Structure 1
């Protein structure tokens, strides 16, 4: 076991999968030369080169559409949005193409894409950079939504998302990129669609996801001091 930050395990998960499969590539604004806006793709350009770690123009509708067409033709793109607020520029491609092509084609095409990037509020950012849109995407037929609450879960769930044959929305809290956690050296995957019991209890159940899990765990600790046994469930996906 070795300690890594949230941003480091995001890069690890993508790199591990890209080493196995040449059809996997990363594209987005500043993912290559700048190592990612939040440094979540640090070192990947050096390892994989500019054909597999691609800096895009500031044109989310365009590069999201390119990713959908690419996935339909046998590739497995990972699309990074600098913030998920900017995914709204390309939301027609996400909702009406990526999420629907398998059903609309009668199963002739699938669309293995991971749309990932930071979500919700962070320090000193404007309102247009601070929205939590996971509930929007979770209500769209054809999409799977993942919001991890810690680095261990983030790595295992991202690796599973990259291998999934359907489009996955993978949202990372901007306030958690520096969070550290011990991560196994051996490879591991976590299942999509299964919640995790972070703490067992018998009196009351708290259910949450993402960075709010920190508050849920703290609330559980506070209630334990009052003699109340709290179960805490992390939805994760």
Structure 2
């Protein structure tokens, strides 16, 4: 399966297993979603379980919060992460706080899916990576998978979770892996170890990172599309880097991160979003607090630019392997 198929399979499995699961959002019903992640689900499970919503993100999430409080498990799609901001108040003021403000009497077991990041030349309104906005909000969990197998297992875990989960899906990974340089699949996912996706139920625990490549010299912390960019960079420069796929940004698997950096003594952080106040800043400070006496060099970040998202220079904006290689060589020199 590619990631689109894996996500579709996860929702199909949960609609079949749990009558309280609902899917709704912009164009997710008859059309099957702009990226086809919900294709065929309405025909199979009916219009009461999979249905379209108006282009009103605040209303979509508000309805999901009410459904969750009632006992349902809604999975909503915001067509692009750039358009999730009209729903931000509902996520922050209602969904994230419902369990605590009600003393546990009510919960918001909702999953908000949304495509994020670049790769379609969508510029400022279709290509942003807003993950840091959500990791700051207590009560929200934030997930970004890097491959189809993880995408299905993490989405099932998110749907089953009793708290709200923001599930961000990198658009460049929807249809297969790429070499970190080009916006095209290199090989079928069936030939890739992470691409063999079971048809039936399985889950991956939220809050657990994965070691994508073991190494001894430096730790690379990354997630989503940038995992593949980082692996391409490591292959190019030959440095024995340990590459960690965070998978869940909050809650963060600080134990796996700390264990790696205590071994390597060096850390490079790679993410697509802009640099200032990006999630890499939180990662770097967490590493500093946990591993200060084990660090042999400053923590380095490779990120997007601190500019409004440039349409014409999209591929220059992305951190590419060459920028990651430069950071890896720098950190090894210190």
Matching residue of 1:73: 70
Identify the match of residue 123 of structure 1 among 106, 116, 120. 120
Asked whether 1:229 is paired with 2:226, we answer no
The whole-number CA distance in structure 1 between the counterparts of 2:38 and 2:28 is 6
Task: Write the mapping of 1:60-99 to structure 2, written as runs, cut at 5 A.
Answer: 60-99=57-96
The 8 Å contact of residues 143 and 169 in structure 1, kept in 2 or not, is answered as yes
SS at match of 2:122: coil
Q: 2:229 pairs with 202, 215, 218, which one?
A: 215
Measured in 2, the distance between the counterparts of 1:214 and 1:81 equals: 25
Q: 1:28 maps to what in 2? A: 25
Instruction: State the Cα distance separating 1:87 from its structure 2 match.
Output: 1.1
Where 1:26 maps in the other structure, the secondary structure is strand
* 1:172 pairs with one of 169, 189, 194: 169
Partners of 1:223 and 1:230 within 8 A in 2: no
C-alpha distance in 1, partners of 2:98/2:104? Answer: 8
The size of the alignment, in residue pairs, is: 231
The alignment partner of 1:142 has SS state of coil
Higher relative contact order (CA 8 A, sep 6+): 1
- Structure 1 gaps of 5+ residues are none
**Partner of residue 12, structure 1:** 9
Residues 136-163 of structure 1: per-residue CA shift (max 9 Å, x gap): 1011100000000011110110010010
Structure 1 counterpart of 2:215: 201
1:122 deviation in Å?
Answer: 2.4
Shift of 1:220: 1.6
- Structure 1 residue ranges (4+ consecutive) displaced by more than 6 angstroms after TM superposition: none
| CA RMSD after TM alignment | 1.0
Q: Is contact 2:9–2:199 with CA below 8 Å preserved after alignment? A: no
d(CA) in 2 for partners of 1:177, 1:69: 30
Contact 2:211 2:242 in 1 (8 A): yes
> 1:223 & 1:5 partners in 2: Cα distance?
28
Aligned position for 2:268: none
The Cα offsets for residues 177-232 of structure 1, whole Å up to 9 and x where unpaired, read as: 101322134532111001110111011111100000011111121232xxx31100
SS in 2 for 1:183: coil
CA contact (8 A) 1:5 1:178 kept: yes
Q: Which residue number in structure 2 is paired with residue 188 of structure 1?
A: 202
1:134 aligns with 2:131: yes
TM-superposed CA distance for 1:128, in Å, is 1.4
Distance, in Å, in 1 between the alignment partners of 2:200 and 2:5 is 16
| Larger-gyration structure (1/2) | 2
Tell me the TM-score normalized by structure 2: 0.68
Verify the 8 A CA contact 1:31 1:37 in the aligned structure 2.
yes
**Any gaps of 5 or more consecutive residues in structure 2?**
177-188, 190-194, 249-334
